[in-house]
Every structure is written in structure tokens, then in C-alpha cells.
Structure 1
Amino acid sequence: MAQPDLNLLITLDVLLEEGSVTRAGQRLALSPSAMSRALARLRRATGHPLLVRAGRGLVPTPRALELRDRVRGVVQEAREVLRPAARPDLATVDRAFALRASDGFVEQFGPALVAAVGAQAPGVRLWFLRKADKDTAPLREGSVDLETGVIEDAPPPDVLNAPLFTDRFIAVVRPEHPLAEGPLTTARYAAARHVHVSRRGLVDGLVDEALRPTGHHRHVVAAVDGFGAALALARAADLVATVPARHTAAMRQGMAALELPFRAPEVTVSLLWHARLDTDPVHRWLRARVIDVCRAE
């Protein structure tokens, strides 16, 4: 079955409004003969004359009058669909967004982000989800709207990203720890008792790789899966937690932060989202707020 020519709806809308082939042709920039052919096509498509002659002009049939409002609504709706998205009125937006991030990210940047969002769009709600892995499936499936993290492997082509900030690792101990006194040397650092952060358990990480050229190795006595847990252990015992500085600023208040005596590893934290939301005006606005908050501190 042949598909209908939807352009005929625009022609029919103008014809029914003007009630004249000539005037309709002028509005549509069509010659009288081209407009007459368009009317003939409409009659074939609908199986109805639509406009009939009355004296020197044309008048709509009852069926045409019945269609007039419906056709006008369909044409207006189509124009709305094809029109570029209007700038949203943030004061009236009512939406919830799921943002998957680490506990450290939420503690460090969450308060400023909630304040920035609430100041412009009080109806926007943020749902912070704990990030336990690097699987991008939640973004692709739509259960997560935004995600933050370090990109180790190139994401799928339908997952977009933007860098937020670069962070460097530091050593953190409680004020009573022996390393808090005197200069921190590589030998003292390596010989101390360490808590290692890894989702994969007791395996070498970025810090161990950076330390290896010095000929030293860390004395790791515990492993946890998050920076918050590492800092909690270091706060309560004589352990060294080596963590990214900016990411953990809020969590390590009251503790001693020490610059590493060797070349500190750095990581770039990025914002990720799915391509289907790239042009969504409210999502785009929210992405800009996340970027602003992260780059302002």
C-alpha cells in the first residue's frame, strides 16, 4: 500500500482556510495550475471532492468543514515536532535526574551542585547513586542520566563525555601518625602501613606503579573498595591512605595531608552521558551546572 503524501495536509489546511485555489496557491508559492493539480491529488487521496464550485468560486463540502479543525491541529502539531526545542523555563521544570558517582564526589561537589540547581530550577531533583563499577549499561538503558568517573578504556560511541578536573594523589594520615612529623621521604612512606583502594582487592594500582621506579614497595595491610573507607581506617589507626586530593577534600578534614615524595600519579575525572540526551535542553543545562561546580573549586 502506497504511503500518503503528508505534504498534502499542509495544502489541504491552506485550501480549507482560504476557500480559493488562487489564494491558496499564492500562500504556498504555487501557480494556479500546480495548485489545481494538488487539489486533484487531495480528492483522489480522500475520495471526496472537498471543494465544489459555487458560481465563480469554490465552497467546502460538509465533509471538508468537518476535516478543517482536525487538519489544522495535525499541521500545527507537526510544526511543533519539527521546530527546534525552545529554551526551557527552568523555574517551571519538574524532572528528576539520576547521577551515578562515588561517595567522595557527592561529599565534595554534591552540596554546591544541589544549591546551584535549586537556585535556577527548584523543581529539578537529583538522585545520587553510588558507583560500584565502570559499566556504562545504566547510561545506555536510561536508568542513569549522568555519571562521573575516570575513563580507563574508550567508552562506546554512543556514550559521550567531558573532562571535569584533573586530580593528583596525596598521602593522608591522622595527626598522631609518625609520618605527620618530619620530612616525608620515599623510604619512610613505603615502610609505613598502608590501606590500599581497589575494587579488585590486593593488586597494584596507580600509586604502586608510580612508586616502582624508586625501587620501593608499599607495605599494604588492608584493602578497601572506596576512598571514604580508606580515610575512615586511616583516621582511626596508624595507616596511610593515598587518595586523590580534590576528590577527598571534604572527607579528610582534620587529617594531615602530605605531598608524595615521588612523582604523584594524576587522574582526570570526566562526566559521561548517553547520546540520546545530548540535545535535551534541560539535560544540557544540568551538565553545564556539574561542569561549573567542578571547575570552580
Structure 2
Amino acid sequence: MTSRTTIQGFFDPATWTVSYVVWERASRHAAVIDPVLDFDFKSGRTGTASADRLLAFVREHELRIDWILETHAHADHLSGARHVQAQAGGKIAIGQNIRVVQSTFKKLFNLERGFLPDGSQFDHLFKDGEVFRIGDVEVTALLVPGHTPADMAYLVDGAVFVGDTLFMPDLGSARADFPGGDPRQLYGSMRRLLALPPDTAVYVCHDYPPASRPARWQSTVADQRAHNIHVRDGIGVDEFVAMRTARDATLEVPTLILPSIQVNVRGGRFPPADDNGVSYLRIPLNALPASR
């Protein structure tokens, strides 16, 4: 709990994703961050159980959703933003560099001509340093590229929601080998976050806990600077880039990258339905690296 706001996390064990509701206690105005749409890869069916759990919390606490904030176009889960918006309102927003990501993946998936890589699929595109509000509480959008070109962090009332830019200290950092990713940029973005006051609460978007501990999603800047295995104080950029590059070369392609990206670059919408009323996802053959 911070001075004017309250934060509640929702962990999805199927995708290791943490979604958040953050609200101003006085006004009950709120934002939802990185909501998940359930997806069964075998059947191609979507579901809303994860998002509905979050929405039930919103209704129980009589919150008014102002914003649905995406930290980036996720490659490991489908966005539940449209379902949340349909049930509770709010503007769907992401960083303005989503246009770069959209352009890249429009080519990969050969998306329909009507899909424009201009960010218009979202209600708002944030610039670096842009200030907006949850009720009367100021929030600052911070550009933190490296994992993807469009990653954003959101700084609100002594807490920062970092998306995939940082993990918990014992896990370190996210990969930087997606199209447009860059480990040197990622290092700079992490150090930007670690320059915040030491007591700033750090909320991550994913946790992949070892068997020795349960899932966790909150640390502090001080914790990260002292203990993060990839970017703690004393680890320089060249050391990090060498480590990250070698590690990324061993990682599997994310299971849901093909379905998730096609939905997430559209702001959580499905592709336009064919003339039979069914939406289809495209699978580009022999276009991505083989699984290791």
C-alpha cells in the first residue's frame, strides 16, 4: 500500500503473468495493467476466467476503471483488454512505439490491407515522460525499450510497474532477442528504473518461480540494485550484453507468440472475421527460428 493508492496483483499460473489493479482510495478511480485473456492452444478457444476474476474484484470494491494499460505487446499471453473494457470501461493505452512493433509483425503475418501500423487500434499512445492521472493521482509513462521497442513502465505514487523490463531479483531480466529487441537498450532501460528512489516498489509482469519459493511480483529498487542477478550494482553494460546474448541463444520460442502477437498488436481485438463469421489466426511457416 502506498500513500494514496492501493495495488492488487492477480497471478495467472498458465502464463506466469501478473495483472494489476491500482486505484486511488479517495475517489475509487482505477487502472488495470496487463490483463490476460485465457487461450487454449490445442482447441483455439479463448476464455475470460482470468480477466473475470480481476473484474469481480473491481466490482466488489466499487472501482471505476479509467485506464487499461499495456506495458508492451506481449508474446506469452493474449491481452484481455477488450473484455475488461467491454465490462468496465476505461481507455486502452500503450506506448507510441507500438507502431514499430505493428509494422514488423504486419510483414511477418502478412496482415490484411486494412490493418494500419499506426497505433489507431488503441485508445491512447503514450509518449516517454507523459503524465496522466488515475483519479487525482499522477502517473508517468516511461519508455523502457530493449525487450521490445515499445515497452513502457508506469510510475505511480511510489510504485513502478515495469512489465518485462525487470524480473524478480533472483531471475534477473527478460530476453532481448525478439524483433527490435536490443540487450544494450535493455540494460539502459533497467538502469533508468534503478535510478528511481531506493524505496520505490517494483511490480513485475511475470514470475517463473523456482521450486524453492512461491510466485512473487513485488520488490524494491534497493532490492534490485543489491540482488538482481543480471543488473545489480557493479554489473556493467558489456558484461550484461554478453550474458543476455548467450542466454537468449538457448531459449525456446514462446509457446503463444504466434497467436498472442496477432491479437495484442490490435489492442486485444481478434482478426476480422471471414465471410463465415469466424476469426482466424495465421501461422507463418518456416518464418521463425526452430525451437531448440
What is the TM-score with the length of structure 1 in the denominator?
A: 0.21
Give the number of the structure whose residues are more often helix, by fraction: 1
What is the TM-score with the length of structure 2 in the denominator?
A: 0.22
Higher relative contact order (CA 8 A, sep 6+): 1
Rg (Cα) greater in structure: 1
